Structure 1
Amino acid sequence: MAAEVVLDTLLFVDTNVLLDFYRIRKTDISTKYLEQLEACKDRLIVGSQIEMEYKKNRQRVIVESLNNFTAPDWGKLTVPALVADLQATKMIDKKKKELIAQHKKVNEKIQAVLSDPTHHDPVYQTLQRIFKNNSPFNLSRSKKERFSVRNLAKKRFTLGYPPRKQGDTSIGDAVNWEWIVKCSADSGKHVVIVTRDTDYGAIYDGKSYLNDWLKQEFSERVSKKRKIILTDKLSAGLKIVHAAVTKEMEEEEEKLLAEILAEFEDLSDA
């Protein structure tokens, strides 16, 4: 089996991918991804823009992921008087009480995660450590560089340069791109961008293609020899940076992306 190719690479993970940690069904897989992400925190391109976007949307995504988490319709489990004395009926009543009690406990945990993530949300706790990491690739609010990056972002936003969503009124994507370019130029390292946003490029037949203008701009502003890789899979990005991804982690991400694609197609058909 061929060894994974690991490049001297920085990793940018878009907010929509960070929010997937609340959508992955298996908690142990989500935890493994978080551990691997934190393990390469000194190579992560992050900043207050990503932190704000994550914290702005965290509660909404959690609530959306719980749409199907409702108590059963107990009225449909009411048995006829004819069989009310059966042992099976008594067991149904017992299990019903147990389910109600467990459902209440889960709801209490969810409320704690929503209201006090510092103590009850492991995703929030890990990402908070990453956002507070004193790395040269972290554009935190304490760095004066943020002003020059914002000015460049405002300029490209006004000119309509990508990355920019249709009808977008925020310069967030522009800020992230300008910071990605600066980090690569200053460090001499390659860059991997993990995102599902099509404003960075196109996704076709399971493969991501960087926007033509962004590819040209990166080559001119950074280096023709410097690589910039676009992918919609966190597993692929992590493997390029430090090759520590299991088959199970990849499979779970594939399932998640398939669910997201199916939801998108349902909305398109509506």
Structure 2
Amino acid sequence: MNCRAMRKRTGILVALCLCLFVKESLALLPHESEVINKCILSYGGLNPETAERLGRFKDWAEGYEEIPCFTQCYLAEMFDFYNSSTGFDMDAVVRAFGEPVYTACQRKLELPFGSGLSSCQHAYEGFHCITNAENHPFTVIDNMANISLSAKTAMKECLQNVDQAKWKRFAAYGEYPVIEPIPCYTRCFLDKLHLFDQQTRLWKVGAMRQHLGVPARGASIRSCHLQRGKDRCATYYKQFTCHALALA
């Protein structure tokens, strides 16, 4: 995402763009340049080295802020959705970024249990999550068209049962790979939606279309039930993929 697109979408943290190397050419938010310089003053201010580090903000480790306390300083000085004492304001975060992003990052945005004050670590982890939430599986699921609320809930519940280290594989589903990116994930949400009749061994195509928007009406799906994998989970994935890709 380029700087102009980022400003249009969120209106904040232009410092995360590598074009900070040419500071004078940026159309920063009011007082943003001063705030950035203030927050990294002890690290030499805004120069090519610190700009390059800020440009990699989304790639910083989830629990390690490369420029300590920069995020808390920047957010507290610039925006109303974060307060250095009380932390993130739910309503303000939702207004700025949307409910799917807040939901995806809720655990990071809430103050740690038993803590009465926010911290540099809390500010960083919360905002780091927000800046990465565009591709967060929960956000992707919430933005899926032709998917019922029940299906979205089932898909999120099934992800909760998966090691979060594997969540990065979720994006691969859009390419319909031969091998399922997250083993048994498809079977999990299909079973939650009761889309396979265990007695007749047939798919409930009408219900599948209602909840998941596939297969397309008039699609040729007659052979989908013949697809087989090495186990039941793989078979579910192959047969569902067949329904999803079938052409009318």
Q: Report if TM-score (shorter chain) is over 0.5.
A: no
| Structure with higher RCO (Cα < 8 A, 6+ apart) | 1
Give 1 or 2: higher strand fraction.
1
Q: Structure 1 length as normaliser, TM-score?
A: 0.25
Using structure 2 for the length normalisation, give the TM-score: 0.27
